[in-house]
Amino acid sequence: MWYYEKKLQYPVRVRECNPTLAKYLIEQYGGADGELSAALRYLNQRYSIPDKVVGLLNDIGTEEFAHLEMIATMIYKLTKDATPEQLKEAGLGDHYVAHDHALFYHDAAGNPWTATYIQGKGDPIADIYEDIAAEEKARATYQWIINMSDDPELNDSLKFLREREIVHSQRFREAAQMLIDEKDKKRFF
Amino acid sequence: MWYYEKKLQYPVRVRECNPTLAKYLIEQYGGADGELSAALRYLNQRYSIPDKVVGLLNDIGTEEFAHLEMIATMIYKLTKDATPEQLKEAGLGDHYVAHDHALFYHDAAGNPWTATYIQGKGDPIADIYEDIAAEEKARATYQWIINMSDDPELNDSLKFLREREIVHSQRFREAAQMLIDEKDKKRFF
Amino acid sequence: MWYYEKKLQYPVRVRECNPTLAKYLIEQYGGADGELSAALRYLNQRYSIPDKVVGLLNDIGTEEFAHLEMIATMIYKLTKDATPEQLKEAGLGDHYVAHDHALFYHDAAGNPWTATYIQGKGDPIADIYEDIAAEEKARATYQWIINMSDDPELNDSLKFLREREIVHSQRFREAAQMLIDEKDKKRFF
Amino acid sequence: MWYYEKKLQYPVRVRECNPTLAKYLIEQYGGADGELSAALRYLNQRYSIPDKVVGLLNDIGTEEFAHLEMIATMIYKLTKDATPEQLKEAGLGDHYVAHDHALFYHDAAGNPWTATYIQGKGDPIADIYEDIAAEEKARATYQWIINMSDDPELNDSLKFLREREIVHSQRFREAAQMLIDEKDKKRFF
Amino acid sequence: MWYYEKKLQYPVRVRECNPTLAKYLIEQYGGADGELSAALRYLNQRYSIPDKVVGLLNDIGTEEFAHLEMIATMIYKLTKDATPEQLKEAGLGDHYVAHDHALFYHDAAGNPWTATYIQGKGDPIADIYEDIAAEEKARATYQWIINMSDDPELNDSLKFLREREIVHSQRFREAAQMLIDEKDKKRFF
Amino acid sequence: MWYYEKKLQYPVRVRECNPTLAKYLIEQYGGADGELSAALRYLNQRYSIPDKVVGLLNDIGTEEFAHLEMIATMIYKLTKDATPEQLKEAGLGDHYVAHDHALFYHDAAGNPWTATYIQGKGDPIADIYEDIAAEEKARATYQWIINMSDDPELNDSLKFLREREIVHSQRFREAAQMLIDEKDKKRFF
């Protein structure tokens, strides 16, 4: 089970109200390769992965919820002072009439999150490659969002998150190699 | 952010391998009114709800993740020793060819979880009634599953969870009344 | 069964061709908390709700179809004279290439309607709370759309519809209380 | 707008409690080619179809709601006395834990209804061919269900409904021909 | 099985980088009535259609993949030199943060392709009417896109594709008539 | 564009009518990690991947369509002689009332195929890891199906297909390494 502490993993600051940027950032909240996908994917795989990898999935899965909270905080800060008219100009008029200033788990185009974005196969090597791919895709998404952003304070947090994805990808690669080595060992003896 | 402690909110025991029961129980893992819906709904609403209610949503949302973990543990225990043939007889053959013994966020009929199950309107009273309805629906689902189960040890945990939904419903009703009273007060002065 | 009479429940007038407003209004046609959701939710619940509440669901469900028709008429009037170029400027270019000037059951962001927006649990109290929540969410959506609209004639109709949601919510609350009282009475004797 | 009269278009009788048959019949309630699809498709197309065809769409669309109500009544009658155990044996255990004895707009496999099953193009000839195809597909579905059923009383109602689809298909073919003839006339002069 | 030859069925040229036009054109890539729908629908129906029609479905299905490739090439050419800022102005900012310059099977509104757009009933006449309707709907979509386009070179290719849909519709009508005639003959003898 | 030759990539034989096995095998037709996902994923990525990898994606994508056709042929052979009653006993009654003996792009649980199963990021390394993961997941699915099958003739074809996934995975790993090496080289100079 989890305990909540009222702090963010890394500070989140935004320069100014910027709903256009919020619109793109929501891709990492409820999009295919966003933080919700990551957290739910890893925590779900814990039950069928070899014991050696459970801790890794647990740690990264829990951290991804902290990332999700950072993204939520960013979106909130970028939009909380926006008028309906400003949301409309930012392409968020459709979000506004459905959700007002509330967040929602959809991607930048408005597609609601679906579990079909993720997978759990029960095959350890397939699952870990799913996870490496997930981290690489999340890294790419952060890059595309940073390319769209001219808010240096927000970018500082986004670069932290992008860096974390690279670290996670590396750790999943090590886990994949360990699983492959073990499988080869079993074949040999 | 959250910290993970390796323990369950309430102990989970099952009498025996019982994939048929697991098939129905998965409704509370990835179904419309299951624990994933609950956790994600409340944590998402935190950003647009009045300050007084944020703590309530945060506490219950975090607890629902602990419930999700209990459900996952139940399903794992009910299925981990099942052969493919037993899964097939339990109506889980379709789950097996897609996921082997891994869990997945779908309902008892196999529909993947979707964010369209939940809502965040930005209107505090609408959001809290969404939450009351959610708890009542989850309570009903636990009842229907208990009706299907003849495992007394599992039922002990399920009754704990059903009871928690009733408590949450009560707390959301109090929050609704508080929000309505405040709104009336504002109108009066 | 139903009989159609060629009139609207309440007159619908719009000041001028205004596809931007139509784009937002479509949230109430095919969106999560729109009139289609309402009508289909209540009529579906009729078969498992206690007899005393069937008439209420039937009446409100039938009325919601009349509201759906009013919304359709509004959208039609707001867009029928719009050129493809005007639809494009209003953010309806994607609607146009798929549907020309035809209506479609999607929300303001273009997501097609899905039955996952609604629920029928078979538990009377859960179902009625689902309905109260639905009315509160629909009320909120009307408010957000009115906030986006500067067409006083359209707003007159939208305010009528918002008012109806408030009345329905009140009637569902009375039904909920009646069901709770009856349940308590049964426990007592 | 519509007026409800408490009677069915055609009487519905079932020989006995038969949840297995109900499971298959639900295909016509919330399935791709079922009565909900039909009703919503035709009523939606009314706003962009030439005036001459509006009445036809209105009449058939309204009738399809009467069919939907007949299907609902059949499913209710086939399942209302079934125990959870009987529902489980009929392959409706997953429906039961989610909905108890309530109906829901999903198909026989449990997929929730989605507006992606239907279309409205704004092009009269495309729309009418969509409608002919819809009627032919509904006719086929009734046939497959009748093939599965050994309840002569239920089959009487199902044959009535299958016959109505054939009549509707014929009327849509006439409308298609009329629209094609008119288009050719315009080209000639 | 299929062999790939590196050429297009018909040449594709675009006058200039035009992401706005690409946004609308993607309706024919991953939209309800687009080329992916067409190809997958016909090839799937091959297994249950009478032998006489298998070749027709095979030919047209294979040709639709060639059309899909033409559409992909058009979208690629219209967007490959666009900056993120230009994509944003064209309403493709949400596509960019999810996919950069990659294509994806979604419609102009961003809805991912789903097999619910198509059908296979096993009833030959129902299936062929599904196909006629599909061709008429695709023809209409090409028309709406041509109406949005002022690129004469692109329009040349689009008109070729629209013309092919008309030819396919005609061939499916002939197949429908043949199937109806055969059915009548069987009834007679 | 593609040319069709009326032969299968590898012969497909089945020992006997076996709709239960067909039900599980359909996971590879329209399931998350099935052949349709594979073919559409690779062919879509061709437009934004570096030139050196286009041929590889084109070859493997085209081959996956040949696999899809093999799977279709297997399902057809396993079900073509099955009565409605046999389909019902095999858990395919829901498929039958919707599709008769026609195939459809859904998974073993009946979920229609959706493009959300696949991804195209525009980032070459992310895309190739998506592809490696896809092949590993497809390999696992073949293994789970083989575990369910006691038809030695069918298993011969399934093992051929499983082997192809392993070869594809290897080729994608080589492509990933090549892309990583090139990226490193660019950083160096």
Percentage of chain B modeled with pLDDT above 70:
99
- Average pLDDT of span E13-23: 98
Residues 6+ apart with CB under 8 A from B34: B27, B28, B68, B71, B107, B113, B138, B141
Chains E and B touch (3+ CB pairs under 8 A): no
Q: What is the pLDDT of residues C110-124, one digit of tens each?
A: 999 999 999 999 999
B125: which chain C residues are within 8 Å (Cβ-Cβ)? 136
Q: Please tell me the distance in Å from D140's CA to the nearest CA on chain B.
A: 25
Q: Please tell me the distance in Å from F33's CA to the nearest CA on chain A.
A: 9
Q: Is the pLDDT of residue D58 over 90?
A: yes
Q: What is the pLDDT of residues B5-54, one digit of tens each?
A: 999 999 999 999 999 999 999 999 999 999 999 999 999 999 999 999 99
Q: What is the pLDDT of residues C16-72, one digit of tens each?
A: 999 999 999 999 999 999 999 999 999 999 999 999 999 999 999 999 999 999 999
Q: Is the pLDDT of residue D189 over 70?
A: no
Among E48, E58, E100, beta carbon nearest to F121: E100
Q: What is the pLDDT of residues F56-115, one digit of tens each?
A: 999 999 999 999 999 999 999 999 999 999 999 999 999 999 999 999 999 999 999 999
F72: which chain E residues are within 8 Å (Cβ-Cβ)? 44, 46-47
Q: List the single residue in D with minimal CA-CA distance to F90.
A: D91
Confidence of residue B185 (pLDDT cuts 50, 70, 90): confident
Q: Is the pLDDT of residue B186 over 90?
A: no
Mean pLDDT of chain B: 97
D112 HSE (CA, 13 A, CB side): 25
Amino acid identity for residue A89 in this structure = E
- Average pLDDT of span B56-61: 98
Among F91, F100, F106, beta carbon nearest to D144: F100
Q: Is the pLDDT of residue D186 over 90?
A: no
E25-50 as b/e: b if 16+ CB within 10 A: bbbbbbbbbbbbbbbbbbbbbbbbbe
Check if the beta carbon of residue D83 is closer than 8 Å to that of residue D19. Answer: no
Give the per-residue pLDDT at C188.
67
Chains E and A touch (3+ CB pairs under 8 A): yes
- Average pLDDT of span E129-137: 98
Is E131 annotated in a binding site? The answer is no
Q: Residue B4: enclosing H or E segment and its boundaries? A: strand B2-4
Question: Within the 65-84 window of chain F, which residues sit less than 8 Å (CB to CB) from chain D?
Answer: 84
Is E35 annotated in a binding site? The answer is yes
Count how many pairs of residues, chain A against chain C, have C-beta atoms within 8 Å. Answer: 49
Check if the beta carbon of residue A23 is closer than 8 Å to that of residue A83. Answer: no
Q: Is the pLDDT of residue A6 over 70?
A: yes
Q: Is the pLDDT of residue C185 over 90?
A: no
Other Cβ atoms less than 10 A from the Cβ of D156: the count is 13
Tokens of A15: 């320069």
Across the interface, whether the CB atoms of D144 and F84 are under 8 A apart is answered yes
Q: Is the pLDDT of residue F188 over 70?
A: no
Confidence of residue B187 (pLDDT cuts 50, 70, 90): confident
A141: which chain E residues are within 8 Å (Cβ-Cβ)? 97-98
Give the per-residue pLDDT at F189.
60
Give the per-residue pLDDT at E185.
86
Q: List the single residue in F with minimal CA-CA distance to B84.
A: F148
Give the per-residue pLDDT at D184.
86
Mutation target vs B (from C36, C37, C116; most B CBs, 10 A cutoff): C116
Q: What is the pLDDT of residues A113-135, one digit of tens each?
A: 999 999 999 999 999 999 999 99
**Bridge partners of residue D106, in order along the sequence:** D112
Mean pLDDT of chain D: 97
How far apart CA A24 and CA A12 sit, in angstroms, is: 17
B98: which chain F residues are within 8 Å (Cβ-Cβ)? 27, 31-33, 107-109, 141, 144
Percentage of chain D modeled with pLDDT above 70:
99
Confidence of residue F186 (pLDDT cuts 50, 70, 90): confident
F105: which chain D residues are within 8 Å (Cβ-Cβ)? none
Q: What is the pLDDT of residues E74-125, one digit of tens each?
A: 999 999 999 999 999 999 999 999 999 999 999 999 999 999 999 999 999 9
- Average pLDDT of span E36-54: 97
Domains, in order of start, for chain A: 19-104+122-188 (1.20.1260.10)
Question: Within the 85-124 window of chain A, which residues sit less than 8 Å (CB to CB) from chain B?
Answer: 98-106, 112-116, 118-123
Q: List the single residue in C with minimal CA-CA distance to A97.
A: C144
Please report the DSSP string for chain A in residue order. -EEE-SS-SS----SS--HHHHHHHTHHHHSTTSHHHHHHHHHHHTTTS-HHHHHHHHHHHHHHHHHHHHHHHHHHHHHTT--HHHHHHTT-HHHHHHHTT---SB-TT-PBPBGGG----S-HHHHHHHHHHHHHHHHHHHHHHHHH---HHHHHHHHHHHHHHHHHHHHHHHHHHHHHHHHHHHHH-
Tokens of A20: 């256009």
Among A36, A65, A121, beta carbon nearest to B2: A65
- For chain F, give the number of residues: 189
Percentage of chain E modeled with pLDDT above 90:
96
First to last CA, chain C: 39
Q: List the single residue in C with minimal CA-CA distance to A96.
A: C144
Percentage of chain F modeled with pLDDT above 70:
99
Confidence of residue A32 (pLDDT cuts 50, 70, 90): very high
How far apart CA F116 and CA B158 sit, in angstroms, is: 33
Is D168 annotated in a binding site? The answer is yes
Give the per-residue pLDDT at F6.
96
Across the interface, whether the CB atoms of A100 and C144 are under 8 A apart is answered yes
Q: What is the pLDDT of residues B89-102, one digit of tens each?
A: 999 999 999 999 99
The verdict on A30 touching E (C-beta cutoff 8 Å) is no
Mutation target vs C (from A97, A100, A111; most C CBs, 10 A cutoff): A97
Check if the beta carbon of residue F121 is closer than 8 Å to that of residue E102. Answer: yes
Q: Is the pLDDT of residue F141 over 70?
A: yes
3-state helix, strand, coil in chain F (%, to 5): 70, 5, 30
Q: Is the pLDDT of residue B155 over 80?
A: yes
- Average pLDDT of span D100-127: 98
Confidence of residue D185 (pLDDT cuts 50, 70, 90): confident
Chains B and C touch (3+ CB pairs under 8 A): yes
Structure ipTM: 0.96
Tokens of D68: 């939907």
- Average pLDDT of span B137-154: 97
